[in-house]
Amino acid sequence: MSTQIDKDALVPHPHSGQSALMWITCKSGSMIVPAGQGSDYEDFKSMCTDDSRVFGFVRITTGDAMSKRAKFTLITWIGENISGLQRAKISTDKAMVKEVVQNFAKEFTFSDLRELDEDNIRRELKKAGGANYDAQIE
C-alpha cells in the first residue's frame, strides 16, 4: 500500500512573519501527518531520534549587519535504526511533503545529531542567501 498525505494538515505555518512558530514536523507511516511544532529549535532536535524518520520545515533567522531575514529549510532526518524498507520510502515520502512545503532556501538530509547543529544550518543558509555585507568587514 502506498503512503498517503494529509495536505490540509501540513500547511506550513512558520511562513507567517508574525508567527512565533519556528518549525513544524511530519512523520510518515501509511499516512504522512503532522508530528509536532514549536518555537525552540532544541525541541525540534529532540524529535530526531535513532528510531525516527522526520521531515522538518524550519525557519532560521539569518543575515548580516545590514539586514536580517527569515530563511526556511526542509530537513529530512533518518535515524540510524530505521529499517531498510523505511529508508527506501524516504524519497517518495519526501516528494509528497515537497508538494506541500514548496518554498525553502536549502534542503538537508541528516542522520547524525551533530549535523543538526543550528549554527551549522545557519551558516549554510547564509551561504545560499545571496549578498553578504559582513564580507566587507571580514
- The residue segments making up the domain with residue 56 are 4-129
Q: Is residue 48 assigned to a domain?
A: yes
Is 135 contained in some domain?
no
Residue 18 has a pLDDT of 54
The count of domains in the chain is 1
pLDDT digits (tens, 9 = 90+) for 20-47: 678 888 887 788 888 998 999 999 999 9
Enter the pTM of the model.
0.84
What pLDDT band is residue 68 in, cutting at 50, 70 and 90?
A: confident
In which band, very low, low, confident or very high, does the pLDDT at 74 lie, cut at 50, 70 and 90? very high
Domain annotation covers residue 41 = yes
**Residues 26, 112 contacting (CB under 8 angstroms):** no
pLDDT in tens, 45-61: 999 999 999 999 999 88
Q: How confident is the model at residue 118 (pLDDT cuts 50, 70, 90)?
A: very high
Q: CB burial class (10 A; 0-12, 13-18, 19+) of residue 69?
A: middle
In a domain, 136, yes or no: no
Any domain includes 60: yes
pLDDT score recorded for residue 138: 45
CATH number at residue 122: 3.40.20.10
Are 108 and 76 a contacting pair, CB within 8 Å? yes
Query: Is residue 15 one of the residues assigned to a domain?
Result: yes
3-state helix, strand, coil in the chain (%, to 5): 35, 30, 35
Please give the grid coordinates belonging to residue 95.
Answer: 516528494
